[in-house]
Chain A
Amino acid sequence: MAAYIENSSKAAAKICFQLLLTVCVIFATKTSKRLVSDDGDDIISSLSLPIQHSIQTGDQLVFIERGSLNFKSLTHGTGSYHQSSALMPHESNLLKELAASGGLYRARVPTQLLSLQTSEDIGYVSSYMKACSLLESNMSDEVTIHADQSGQVLGISILPIKGTCTKSIDEISAMDLTTFNTTVTLSLVVPGPVPDTQAYLEKMEEERLQKKANGTDNRSFFAKYWMYIIPVVLFLMISGGQEQPRGGGGGGS
């Protein structure tokens, strides 16, 4: 009898345990159904973009490799520039020609976005600056890559440190141009502002409590009505001053 009871209690415990397990499994799957991850695409943790430039005058645009831009993480911030090779002398001459003729120095960076839509090869985003201002700033420029949250490149902007062009042709031809001194930044989409209802409601609560605690205006009587008391006193003093001397004069004569 005892053994039977023991057995049955063990069995009951087993059943309960298994029931519990099943219930847990059900709940787990159910809740996981409800948990939808917010970001559907993979987060790229680092970004490396080859940058190309065009330094030739004339109608045909030829882009040659300039280097690469590396970003360690996709947070707003700076990256690094690595030049693939120093500028060859003939390239340097082309650049000087471009600057002398007032042409445009262009740069471009590939982007994934175009190729998603069309089945062409890589699409590029490009920008430009005046070639003479690049030389003016001694090959120092600032490159900003504009990207959205998932790391897709939307645009590039390339700006010289000094935007004016004051060097003469002789000065230009005397320059030695080999490496670029580039500061690289990554600019991402900023989340838009939301009406700040939380902070406001808290502020309202605080003020309400304060008002309750403070009570009514309890400055002294004088402090409230000094504006009216002073002129009356002055007036009395004046009329009192009149009486005295007159009284004195009348008494004297």
Chain B
Amino acid sequence: MKTVYVRTVLCILTRLFLLLLAYGEDAVDSAKRNPNELFTIEGKASVPGMKASEWIPATKILIDGGTYQGFLKSDGSFQLFVPTGSYVIDLTHPALDFEPQRVDVNSKGNKRARKLNNIQPNAVSHLTYPLRFKPKGQMNYFQKREEFRIIDILKSPMVIMMVLPIVFLVLIPKLINTDDPEIKKEMQSLNLMNPKQDMPDLSEMVTNLFGGGAPPQKKKEKAVKGKKK
């Protein structure tokens, strides 16, 4: 009798205890968790190579693009007061490029900073907290003008085609002594100055390949003879 009594009491007690565990935790938690409670996000921005007074007055802190607001102090540190949630913190300056970061603040006040990935918003790539901001570099707004370089002109094929032959024609005779009759003969044999009989040769050559024949040689002999005279 007594054991039965004790057993039922134990049953009830365990059940009550479990129930309390399940729901009570909720009740206690919701009393602790004020959804509007503000938490502090801390961070520091630094720009190597510039004095603080140069860049701090023009730098603004944007939280979620302006939904909340924070200000930089004179040493580059800042504190932001936000309720729980996930925020994008971005620093803007007209000449410096900062990388935005995402900060999650959970209901217990734990803060986690991670890389901003808009394509995969849930991807977690941890960054240091308290936040550290350093500029990626200068903002580069301008295109460079095409500068005028002599090299560019000289490299263009039109100029090369025009200038190089002239250079050859002028330079090479200067280098060789043209009064020597032998060299003169050589030069003429090079057929540089002769009228272009060579061009048709290509077609001649092709027809030669497919059919035979020596008739063109006679014409050429006559022409050469004429020239020599």
Contacts and interface: CB of A to CB of B under 8 A. Distances in A.
A11 B214 contact: no
Given A22-B15, A238-B202, 19 more contacts: A11-B7, A15-B7, A22-B18, A26-B23, A197-B120, A237-B202, A238-B198, A238-B201, A241-B198, A241-B204, A241-B205, A245-B216, A246-B220, A248-B217, A249-B217, A249-B221, A252-B217, A253-B221, A253-B225
Contacts of B18: 19, 22-23, 26
Interface residues of B, number: 24
Interface in B198-229: 198, 201-202, 204-205, 214, 216-217, 220-221, 224-225
Contacts of A18: 11, 15
Chain A's interface: helix, strand, loop or mixed, by majority?
helix
A18 B13 CA distance: 12
Interface in B72-130: 119-120
A201 interface: yes
B190 to A, nearest CB: 10
A30 interface: yes
A216 interface: no
Interface string B8-19: 001100110011
Interface of A: 11, 15, 18-19, 22-23, 26, 30, 195, 197, 200-201, 237-238, 241-242, 244-246, 248-249, 252-253
B169 interface: no
B22 interface: yes
A241 B202 contact: yes
A19 B15 contact: yes
B191 interface: yes
B201 A241 contact: yes
B151 to A, nearest CB: 23
